[in-house]
Amino acid sequence: MIRYTLVRGALLIAGLLVASAVIFLALRVFPGDVAQLIAGSKATPAQVDALREALGLNRPLPVQYAEWIGGLFHGDLGTSQLSGASVAEEIALKAQVTVPLMALSLIIALLIGVPLGILTALLRGRRSGTLVNVAAQAIAAVPVIWAGMMLVVVFAIWLGWLPAQGFPRNGWADPGRALQALLLPALTIGVVEGAMLLRFVRSATLQASGEDFVRTAAAKGLTRARALILHGVPAVGLSVLTVLGVQIAGLIVGSVVIEQLFTLPGIGRMVVADVGTRDLVKVQSELLVLTGSVLVVGFLVDLVHHLIDPRQRESA
């Protein structure tokens, strides 16, 4: 287990380094730069270039990369070229919206996906099971943004129960209102992700019901459903854990889109805005934090998996 952790940890660090280089280079492909945006459309080329020089944009790329990485090793994510604010502080501030949004979305997705997935597996071959399954297929195929629009029109515009967009200006000072603001966006992501999860849980459950240990239990006189719930579901839990890593990536992508749609001041919207203003030092740190989160989740999932799955432990 210790050897596994070390090897997996080394992989994680290598992954982060590769990601940092890819992010850094990919961002340099964009036309335009922050100096032009600050100077605007009245500036002469000489003025823009003087600004570039002042911002350090004229230095060779390896130097700029080394500076950024050097800062990261000291825990410094850099400062925004536009606002002069610390990137770490900005991320921490926006995370107060994005992290609860993702958590809430995940809870909703699990509440929808797991019980219904098991239920449709149990109801396999019956009309009601097929109906739920077809509905899930359809919902999983809906673009998040479209689902969000629908929910806004119904719950915010027609019924007026929930705010259509935005986040309370005083943040979490009034937790009730903050939660209210996150409910529609989280529901949007949660329903779509949940429908995807449902299909996954269903097939995992069906697979488990064919496993030897479930069949053995059934042979011992349990009904198929009881055998499945008592012996199959723990195995399904493991598979769900594996898919969670993928789901987190989905949640991040979903939250970028949804924050745009609902005007939530979160990390996703910040990244989009910063790419637009070519505040590249800020964007590269933001993207690395997001990528890092996904890689770390994957790392943790693998470790837990390794711990509890007997088959994996034997092979290690």
Partner 1 sequence: MTRRSASLALITGLAAALALSGCAGSASPEPTGTVDPDATLTVGLVLEPTNLDIRHTSGAALEQLLIDNVYEGLVTRTQGNEITERLASSYTVSDDGLTYTFTLNDGIVFHSGTPLTSADVVASLQAVRDDESMQGHSELAGVASIAAPDASTVVITLTAPDQNFLFSLTGPAGLVFQNGDTTDLKAAANGTGPFTLGTWRKGSSISLNRNDAYWGEKAGVGEVVLDYIPDFTAGVNAALDGSLDVLTAVDPNLAPQLEKSGDFVLTEGRTTDKGTLAFNNAKAPLDDVRVREALRRAIDHDALVAAVGAGQTMYGPIPELDPGYEDLSDIAPYDPERAKELLKEAGHEDLTLTLTIPSFYGTTVPQVLVSDFSKVGVTLKVNSVEFATWLEDVYSNKDYDLSFVLHVEPRDFVNFANPDYYFGYDNPEVQSLYAQAKAETDEKKSAELLAQAARLVSEDHAADWLYNGATITALVPGVQGFPEDSINSRIDLRGVTLSK
How far apart, in whole angstroms, are the C-alpha atoms of residue 130 and residue 152? 29
Site string for partner 1, 212-251 (x = CB under 8 A): -------------------------------------xx-
> How far apart are the two ends of the chain, measured CA to CA in Å?
8
Phi, psi of 141 (to 5 degrees): -90, -5
Cβ(118)–Cβ(205) below 8 Å: yes
Regarding 145 and contact with partner 1 (CB under 8 A), the answer is yes
Q: Kindly tell me which of 73 and 158 has the beta carbon lying closer to partner 1.
A: 158
CA distance 150 to 148: 5
DSSP string, 293-306: HHHHHHHHHHHHHH
| Sign of the dihedral through C-alpha 106, 100, 189, 246 | negative
Instruction: Count helices and strands (H / E) in the chain.
Output: 14, 0
**Residue 184 contacts residue 262 (beta carbons within 8 Å):** yes
Tell which one of 263, 295, 296, 300 touches partner 1 (CB under 8 A): 263
DSSP E strands, 118-224: none
Token representation of residue 12: 């994680």
Asked if 163 interacts with partner 1 (CB under 8 A), we say yes
- Candidates 26-34, 105-113, 121-129, 305-313; binding stretch for partner 1 (CB under 8 A): 26-34
Query: Judged by CB under 8 A, which of 113, 117, 232, 265 binds partner 1?
Result: 265
Paired tokens of 222: 């349990």
172: contact with partner 1 by CB under 8 A:
no
Nearest distance, CB of residue 107 and partner 1, angstroms: 20
Of 230, 239, 255, the C-alpha closest to 308 is: 239
How many other CB atoms are there within 10 angstroms of residue 128's CB atom? 10
316 binds partner 1 (CB under 8 A): no
* Cα 242 from chain centroid (whole Å): 15
Give dist(CA 73, CA 15) in Å, integer. Answer: 15
- Of the residues 17, 141, 307, 308, which one makes contact with partner 1 according to CB under 8 A: 141
Pick one of 158, 176, 219, 316: the residue that binds partner 1 (CB under 8 A).
158
Q: Does 82 bind partner 1 (CB under 8 A)?
A: yes
Does residue number 44 form part of the binding site for partner 1 (CB under 8 A)?
A: yes
Rounded least distance, CB 99 to partner 1, Å:
16
Nearer to partner 1, 279 or 302 (CB): 279
Near partner 1 by CB under 8 A: residue from 73, 74, 75, 157? 157
| 262 binding partner 1? (CB under 8 A) | yes
Q: How far is the CB of 265 from partner 1 (least distance, A)?
A: 4
286 is a contact residue toward partner 1 (CB under 8 A): no
3-state SS class at 265:
coil
| Per CB under 8 A, 50 contacts partner 1 | yes
Q: Which of 3, 29, 40, 220 binds partner 1 (CB under 8 A)?
A: 40
* Position 36 contacts partner 1 (CB under 8 A): yes
Does the footprint of partner 1 cover residue 184 (CB under 8 A)? Answer: no
CA nearest to 126, candidates 240, 235, 225: 225
Query: Quick one: which H or E segment has residue 240?
Result: helix 233-262
Residue 278 lies near partner 1 (rule: CB under 8 A): yes
Positions touching partner 1 (CB under 8 A) are 30-33, 36-48, 50-51, 54, 82-85, 90, 93-94, 141, 143-146, 149-150, 152-153, 156-158, 160, 163-167, 169, 249-250, 253-254, 257, 260-263, 265-266, 269-270, 273, 276-279
